[in-house]
Structure 1
Amino acid sequence: MILRTLSTRLSLYSLVGVGAAAVHAGVLLSLGLVMPWWIANPLAFLAASLASYVGHAHVTFRPETGGQQFARRWFALQYAVNLTVSSVLPLALPGWLPTSAEVVVLVFTPTLLNALIWSQAAQFSLRRRTNRTSPPRRHADDLGLSHATNQAILTLAEEGLLEGTSLLVNGPVATEGAKAWSVLAAGRPTLQLCLHLCLTEGPSSAPPDLIPDLVDHQGHLHRSFGHWLLLSLLPPRHPRRARLVKQLGHEIDAQVRQFQAMRGEGPIALDGHQHIHLVPVVLDAVLARSSRFGITWLRSTDEPLPTGLPLRCWLQSCRDAGLIKWLVLQLLSRRARGAFRQHGITSNGGFAGVLFTGRMTGAPLRAAWSELASLRSPDHCTPSLLLAHPGAPLEQNIAQEGFTVSQPFAASPWRQKEWRALQALSVTPDECCG
Structure 2
Amino acid sequence: MRMMPLLNRLLRYGVVGGTAAAVHIGVLLLLGQWMTLSLANPIAFLAASVAGYLGHALLTFREETGGRQFARRWLLLQYVVNISVCALLPLLKAPILVLVFTPTVLNALIWSRAARFSAKSRHQQNGQPPLLHADDLGLAEGVDAAIIDLARRGQIQGASLLVNGPSATAAVEAWRDLADPPPLTLHLCLTEGHRLPNAPDLPTGFGTLLLASILPWQRQRIAPQLRTVLLQQISRYRQLTGLQRIRLDGHQHIHIVPLVLDAVLDLARSESITWVRTTREPLPEGLSLKLWWRSLQTGGLIKWLVLQLLSGLAIPRLRRAGIPTNQRFAGVLFSGSMFGNALRRSWITAHSPSTIPRESRPVVLIHPARRHAASGMDQETFQQSVAFFNSSHRQKEWTSAQQL
TM-score, normalised on structure 2?
A: 0.95
Deviations 1:124-176 (A, max 9, x none): 11111123321111100000001111111011101111110000000001011
Equivalent position SS for 2:360: coil
Greater shift, 102-111 or 26-35, is seen at: 102-111
- Separation in structure 1 between the aligned mates of residue 357 and residue 148 of structure 2, nearest angstrom: 31
Whether 1:155 aligns to 2:155 is no
Q: Which residue of 2 aligns with 1:405?
A: 384
- Separation in structure 1 between the aligned mates of residue 197 and residue 213 of structure 2, nearest angstrom: 22
Q: Which residue of 2 aligns with 1:204?
A: 195
Query: Which runs of structure 2 are paired with 1:307-386 in the superposition (5 Å)?
Result: 307-373=285-351, 382-386=360-364
Equivalent position SS for 2:387: helix
Q: Which residue of 1 aligns with 2:109?
A: 116
Return the letter of the residue paired with 2:204.
R
> Per-residue deviation at 1:93?
3.9
CA contact (8 A) 1:143 1:174 kept: yes
Deviations 1:321-366 (A, max 9, x none): 1101111111101110111011111011111111111111111011
> Per-residue deviation at 1:107?
1.1
Greater shift, 326-335 or 174-183, is seen at: 174-183
CA contact (8 A) 1:267 1:296 kept: yes
> Per-residue deviation at 1:397?
5.4
Over 3 Å counting, the alpha-carbon distance change for 1:10 and 1:58 in structure 2 is same
> Per-residue deviation at 1:4?
6.0
What are the ranges of 5 or more consecutive residues in structure 2 without an aligned counterpart? none
Structure 1 stretches (4+) deviating beyond 3 angstroms?
A: 374-381
- Separation in structure 2 between the aligned mates of residue 420 and residue 318 of structure 1, nearest angstrom: 24
Q: Which residue of 2 aligns with 1:73?
A: 73
Q: Which residue of 2 aligns with 1:129?
A: 122
What are the ranges of 5 or more consecutive residues in structure 1 without an aligned counterpart? 95-101, 215-221, 426-434
CA contact (8 A) 1:141 1:389 kept: yes
Task: State the identity %.
Answer: 50
Equivalent position SS for 1:77: helix
- Separation in structure 2 between the aligned mates of residue 153 and residue 285 of structure 1, nearest angstrom: 29
- Separation in structure 1 between the aligned mates of residue 353 and residue 329 of structure 2, nearest angstrom: 10
- Separation in structure 1 between the aligned mates of residue 26 and residue 295 of structure 2, nearest angstrom: 37
CA contact (8 A) 2:303 2:332 kept: yes
- Separation in structure 2 between the aligned mates of residue 93 and residue 378 of structure 1, nearest angstrom: 53
CA contact (8 A) 1:203 1:401 kept: no
Q: Which residue of 2 aligns with 1:104?
A: 97
Query: Which runs of structure 2 are paired with 1:20-419 in the superposition (5 Å)?
Result: 20-93=20-93, 102-131=95-124, 132-184=126-178, 187-188=179-180, 191-205=182-196, 207-208=198-199, 211=200, 213-214=201-202, 223-235=204-216, 238=217, 240-373=218-351, 382-394=360-372, 396=375, 398-400=377-379, 402-419=381-398
- Separation in structure 2 between the aligned mates of residue 401 and residue 103 of structure 1, nearest angstrom: 69
Deviations 1:387-431 (A, max 9, x none): 100111225252445111111111111111111111111xxxxxx
- Separation in structure 2 between the aligned mates of residue 83 and residue 378 of structure 1, nearest angstrom: 42
> Per-residue deviation at 1:224?
0.8
TM-score, normalised on structure 1?
A: 0.89
Over 3 Å counting, the alpha-carbon distance change for 1:32 and 1:376 in structure 2 is farther
Equivalent position SS for 1:138: strand
- Separation in structure 2 between the aligned mates of residue 401 and residue 176 of structure 1, nearest angstrom: 20
Over 3 Å counting, the alpha-carbon distance change for 1:14 and 1:307 in structure 2 is same
> Per-residue deviation at 1:183?
2.8
> Per-residue deviation at 1:8?
1.4
CA contact (8 A) 1:197 1:276 kept: yes
Over 3 Å counting, the alpha-carbon distance change for 1:375 and 1:323 in structure 2 is farther
Return the letter of the residue paired with 1:360.
M
CA contact (8 A) 2:287 2:345 kept: yes
- Separation in structure 1 between the aligned mates of residue 84 and residue 355 of structure 2, nearest angstrom: 36
CA contact (8 A) 1:24 1:45 kept: yes
Greater shift, 328-337 or 104-113, is seen at: 104-113
Deviations 1:231-253 (A, max 9, x none): 11101xx1x43222111111000
Equivalent position SS for 1:241: helix
> Per-residue deviation at 1:287?
0.7
Over 3 Å counting, the alpha-carbon distance change for 1:90 and 1:370 in structure 2 is same
Greater shift, 410-419 or 374-383, is seen at: 374-383
> Per-residue deviation at 1:205?
2.2
- Separation in structure 1 between the aligned mates of residue 392 and residue 118 of structure 2, nearest angstrom: 36
Return the letter of the residue paired with 1:60.
T
Return the letter of the residue paired with 1:412.
S
Return the letter of the residue paired with 1:207.
N
Which is bigger in relative contact order (C-alpha 8 A, separation at least 6)?
Answer: 2
> Per-residue deviation at 1:105?
1.6
Return the letter of the residue paired with 2:212.
L
Over 3 Å counting, the alpha-carbon distance change for 1:376 and 1:21 in structure 2 is same
